[in-house]
Amino acid sequence: MKVAIEIEATDGGARAGTVTTARGSFATPAFMPVGTRASVKTIDTDDLERLGPPVVLANTYHLMERPGADLIERRGGLHRFLDWSGHMLTDSGGFQIFSLEPKITEEGARFRSVYDGSYVDLSPERSVQIQQQLGADIAMVLDICAPLPSERSALSDALEQTLRWAERSKAAHDREDQAQFGIVQGGVDPELRAHSAQRTVEIGFDGYAVGGLSVGESRDEMVPALAAATAHLPVDRPRYFMGLGDPIGLVEAVNNGIDMFDCVLPTRLARHGTALSSEGRLNLKNLKFAEDDGPIDPAFQHPLSGRYSRAYVRHLLVTNEPTAGRIITLHNLAWLGDLTARMRAAVVSGTFGELRAEVWHQFG
């Protein structure tokens, strides 16, 4: 087993643990910033080192297109390429398959490049090969993320194809210092989610992800589907919810046994002037902040962003200064890192329900 999780405390379904990999270890729950092209938008590796995220993501599809997996491999792999010594995870390209309307066959997927319009062919084996060249600590199998809503037959077909591709991905993977995670699909159908989880566990992976949720469905649809999946995942392997970053979503995921999550939301919100805070989401472009000398969030003043006033950040936003996006990105990522630390502490102290209610009050 190339990765394991030691569960140190539970509070209901919520878990606090430590994930150990060939590189080292990190505490959970863990929010993982997305660095699509080996860069988290508007910030650099020095910022990451001061923020201290447990894991940074990179996007297999975009990196295989630009600058290419061969080039990154010649540079010594992703870690050396962006000079980051912490953990990294690469996705498989599956979400790009979802978003680029590909032609899917048993062999793989064909779709047009977002860069030059040429055809791109991606099979489970090629996805594995590229991720091994990139050299992240955790790699994902290639999956099919069916759009929601979809007919039950379409969801079933997608998950069965994902299972067949998962078997091929496992057979193709042979990098000893890289863990590989399987992905559970099934839309918002709890029965399909349970079936997918059971079958994926039978194939056997180092960790397990829940994919194909947080793609537009309601929270009332998401939570039962998630619970049906996690009920069948082994307790001694990490559990990862793909593409989840809103605070209420995070506490609900942790409440249902999830350890890891990623999303572009905090960086995307930042580029549009929105900060996460103890007061909920703040649109810092709002005129009411024009003469507000207080920090972005008085209850959370991180050294990288807490020195700046709401008035100053608003000024940067309305004059289209890119520094605004950088400041808010640093704030949002630090804020989510603090939220995960608070979730961990609440699980350990048995007060997770109180924190969950607090987040609902702030963002509900």
- Catalytic (active-site) positions: 91, 262
Given phi > 0 = left and psi -120 to 50 = alpha, else beta, which region is 341? alpha
Q: What angle do CA 242, 59, 143 make, to 5 degrees?
A: 50
Instruction: Show the beta-strand stretches assigned E in 211-265.
Output: 239-241, 260-263
Q: Tell me the residue type at 158.
A: A
Output b/e per residue, 193-222; b: 16+ Cβ within 10 A.
bbbbbebbbeeebbbbbbbbbbbebeeebb
Rounded Cα distance between 40 and 329, Å, is: 9
Q: Is the bond preceding residue 29 a cis peptide, omega within 30 degrees?
A: yes
Tokens in use for 251? 């506490």
Residue with structure tokens 């103890």? 278
Given phi > 0 = left and psi -120 to 50 = alpha, else beta, which region is 139? beta
End-to-end CA distance of the chain: 40
Q: What angle do CA 273, 53, 211 make, to 5 degrees?
A: 80
247-255 helix and 352-363 helix, angle to the nearest 10 degrees: 150
Phi, psi of 106 (to 5 degrees): -60, -35
Contact 169/124 with Cβ under 8 angstroms? yes
Contact 140/94 with Cβ under 8 angstroms? yes
Tokens in use for 92? 């498989």
Contact 184/229 with Cβ under 8 angstroms? yes
Rounded Cα distance between 177 and 108, Å, is: 26
β-pair partners for 275 = 282
